[in-house]
Homo-oligomer: A and B are copies of this chain.
Amino acid sequence: MAGIPKGWEMIRVTVVYEAGLLRAALEELLRCGGDFDVSSASHWPQRPIPGASVPDVYVVDAECLEPARAADRTATGRGALVALVPAQRPGVLRRAHQAGALGFVDKDGSKSRLLTAVRRAAKGDRFVDEALAAGFLAAAEMPLTQRELSVLALAAKGEPIADVAASLHLSEGTVRNYMASVIRKVGARNRVDAIRIAQGAGWT
C-alpha cells in the first residue's frame, strides 16, 4: 500500500522545489541523511493522477502551493505531504494545511527535523515543528473573508478598482468597501500597506 513502506523497503521521497539548485541540494540532504530513495519533481500534483506511480512521501516547498480548492483537499492516492514552511507566514502554513500536509517543517530548522518528518509521514504519522506553533494560532485567526482575499489578490496585481469590480462581478463601490474593510482588519495605513502586510503573512 502506498504511504506505508514494507519493513525492508527504502522510503521513496520526491522533493518538490521550484529553484533547481535548491531542489538538488535538498535531494542531497535527504540522500546523505537517511536510507531514502530520492527523486525530484518541479510540481506537486494537486489532484491524484490515476494510475501514476507515487512516492511514499512528497517534500514540498509550501510557498509553491496554490491556495487549495475544497475539492482538492484529499491526500488519497498521492503519497504523504511534508511541507517546508517559513516561520512568520501563517498564510503559507494555512495553504499547507489545506493541501492536506501531514508534516510541517520549519524552513529555518535543522536537517534532523526534516528527516524525522519524512519517516513519520511514511508511516502516516503527523509531525509539526514546534517553531511553527505560533503560526498555527495566527493561521486559525486569519482575519479576511474569501471575498476580501479575492479583492486584495487582484488589487495586489496592480488591477485598477474598475477591473477588479468587473472581474468579480461587483460594483466599484462594493470593491472600495471591501478594500476599506481589509485595510482596517489588518491594521494598515493605506492600500499599499494592506497589500504589503497580507503578502508578508502569505495570505494572498
Contact of A65 with B by CB under 8 A: no
Contact of A92 with B by CB under 8 A: no
Please provide the chain A residues from 1 to 38 with a CB less than 8 Å away from any CB of chain B in the complex: 18-22, 24-26, 28-29, 32-33
Please provide the chain A residues from 86 to 122 with a CB less than 8 Å away from any CB of chain B in the complex: 86, 105-111, 114
A86 to B86 alpha-carbon distance, docked (Å): 19
Kindly list chain B residues whose C-beta atoms are within 8 Å of the C-beta of A192: 155-156, 158, 191-192, 195
Distance in angstroms from A1 CB to nearest chain B CB is 29
Q: Is the CB of A32 within 8 A of B21?
A: no
User: In the complex, which range does the number of interface residues on chain A fall in?
Assistant: 35 or more
Kindly list chain B residues whose C-beta atoms are within 8 Å of the C-beta of A143: none
How many copies make up the complex? Answer: 2
Contact of A197 with B by CB under 8 A: yes
Q: Is the CB of A21 within 8 A of B160?
A: no
Contact of A189 with B by CB under 8 A: yes
Minimum CB distance partner of A19 in chain B:
B107
Minimum CB distance partner of A114 in chain B:
B21
Checking B107, B157, B189 against A158 with a beta-carbon cut-off of 8 angstroms, the contacting residue is B189
Q: Is the CB of A19 within 8 A of B160?
A: no
Q: Is the CB of B24 within 8 A of A157?
A: no
Q: Is the CB of A108 within 8 A of B158?
A: no
Q: Is the CB of B32 within 8 A of A158?
A: no
Q: Is the CB of A19 within 8 A of B155?
A: no
A29 to B111 alpha-carbon distance, docked (Å): 13
Kindly list chain B residues whose C-beta atoms are within 8 Å of the C-beta of A160: 189-190
Kindly list chain B residues whose C-beta atoms are within 8 Å of the C-beta of A156: 192, 196
Task: Give 14 CB contacts A-B under 8 Å.
Answer: A19-B86, A20-B109, A20-B110, A21-B109, A22-B107, A24-B29, A25-B28, A155-B192, A156-B192, A157-B196, A158-B192, A158-B196, A158-B197, A160-B190
A residues touching B (Cβ–Cβ < 8 Å)?
18-22, 24-26, 28-29, 32-33, 84, 86, 105-111, 114, 155-160, 188-197
